[in-house]
Amino acid sequence: MEKVVLSVLLACLLGLILVLVGLFLGVSFYSGREKPSPFECGFDPMGSSRVPFSLRFFLLALIFVVFDVEIVLLFPAVMIVGGSWMWISGYLVLLIFLLLLLVGVIHEWREGSLEWEM
């Protein structure tokens, strides 16, 4: 029992010593007010927080996420259809899924959501 208590105390003491050595001997690279401020995705952290967010960028990012998830769903579907004994119904479901994906891309393309320039 004494060995366990001694080991815990030694570990705590060693941790405290390492933290104190790091605080006293560590190099500080403080170079103004921008260094300690959080990075906010390319926006100026010292400017106004009321900067309008680009709705077109948000819409394009949302479309990317939706179609990315649908593409990821295709990988296991190909494996399941390839090893299935009901290959005709599996191919039919996969064809319907791909057709819905294609209709969605065509709709977004015609709507102009995929265009970055205004």
* pLDDT tens, position by position, 56-80: 777 778 888 887 887 787 777 777 6
Q: What is the mean pLDDT of residues 95-113?
A: 84
Best CA proximity match to 59, nearest among 118, 107, 113: 113
Domains present along the chain, CATH in parentheses: 2-111 (1.20.58)
Mean pLDDT in the chain?
Answer: 77
Maximal CA-CA distance, the chain: 76
State the average pLDDT over residues 37-50.
61
Which of 52-69 are b and which e, b meaning 16 or more Cβ less than 10 Å from the residue's Cβ? eeeeeeeebeebeeeeee
